[in-house]
Amino acid sequence: MTNAVKTKIALIQMRCGPEPDDNFSRAIEFIRESAQKGAQIVCLPELFRSQYFCQTEDHKNFDLAEEVPGKSTSALAEVARETGAIIIASLFEKRSAGVYHNTAAIIDANGKLLGKYRKMHIPDDPLYHEKFYFAPGDLGFQAWPTPQGKIGVCVCWDQWYPEAARLTALHGAEIIFYPTAIGWHPSEKKEFGTAQHGAWETIQRSHAIANGCYVAVPNRVGHEAPAGGDGIEFWGQSFVCGPDGEIIAKGSVDREEIVIAEVDWRRVNEQRTHWPFLRDRRVDAYGEINRRLID
């Protein structure tokens, strides 16, 4: 499959309210607006159909889950055909009774479901109780060829792991999308907020550099406390960085917006040949990477 030379991509930075149908309808409007602005790949933030329900462990939230493929992917397939845009959509997947995943669906411009990625790294932190809801992914790290380029997808907590980015790149990904839902605990923001956001942005820019690929990260905005308490203040700042790690487009801290960037696929080959990290990897020396700890 021959790549386009340049592609416009759009990251949807949106607020998510308590009504899933409203969120879904608004997401579709954002996709249409992105396509009108020339976007050929559109990526939605993590679990965009609902507020971030993982702030509590509540069995009622399993009612938010759906089959993938299913109702949402069918509706998004129609939008993909209508707009001619590739769509990446993060969904709460019900695989079977008692087995659920945090899953991204990749839908081609012709409406075909290219595949899905199940989030591999599942956090369990204050207000991020994802292990209660999601089984770890079992589809591995992947990349999908499209007329616009070969795209990889990971999800949120995966973004902290160099291994995830590396394996996605080794599958041929020229861009890695990270649908995301991350923000500040309001009580911690003053003391730790700047450092927390800086670490998040830096680690992902480093993935772009180490793998010579683009990285694109849509995040949500707004304050959400669906179960009361302080909740989470999602910090937005969705961004796209090039293969050299330089940020080429970035969203605001607190506004809904469409973050658009132009991807020049030739830069991937240029970066990987001028900074040949993939060539110089000592694959013969990395066997211990599959151990939890080297005592």
What residues contact residue 66 under an 8 Å CB cut-off, 6+ apart? 72, 91, 92, 93, 94
Active-site position among 8, 94, 116, 119: 119
> Could you report the per-residue pLDDT of 25-64, keeping only the tens digit for each?
999 999 999 999 999 999 999 999 999 999 999 999 999 9
- E strands in 119-202: 124-125, 128-129, 143-146, 149-153, 175-177, 183-184
* Confidence (pLDDT) at 119: 98
> Could you report the per-residue pLDDT of 248-259, keeping only the tens digit for each?
999 999 999 999
Active-site position among 46, 93, 130, 233: 46
Percentage with pLDDT > 70 across the chain:
99
Judge whether 69 and 84 are in contact, CB under 8 Å: no
Q: How confident is the model at residue 2 (pLDDT cuts 50, 70, 90)?
A: low
* Confidence (pLDDT) at 134: 98
Q: What is the mean pLDDT of residues 78-93?
A: 98
Into which CATH architecture does domain 6-280 fall? 4-Layer Sandwich (3.60)
Q: Which of 42, 149, 147 shows the shortest CA–CA distance to 86? A: 42
Q: Is 29 a catalytic residue?
A: no
* Confidence (pLDDT) at 17: 97
Residue 53: what residue type? F
Q: Is 119 a catalytic residue?
A: yes
Q: What is the mean pLDDT of residues 148-175?
A: 98
**pLDDT for residue 214 is more than 90:** yes
**What average pLDDT does the chain have?**
97
Q: How confident is the model at residue 3 (pLDDT cuts 50, 70, 90)?
A: confident
* Confidence (pLDDT) at 158: 98
**pLDDT for residue 289 is more than 60:** yes
Active-site position among 16, 154, 156, 241: 156
**pLDDT for residue 1 is more than 70:** no
Q: Is 241 a catalytic residue?
A: no
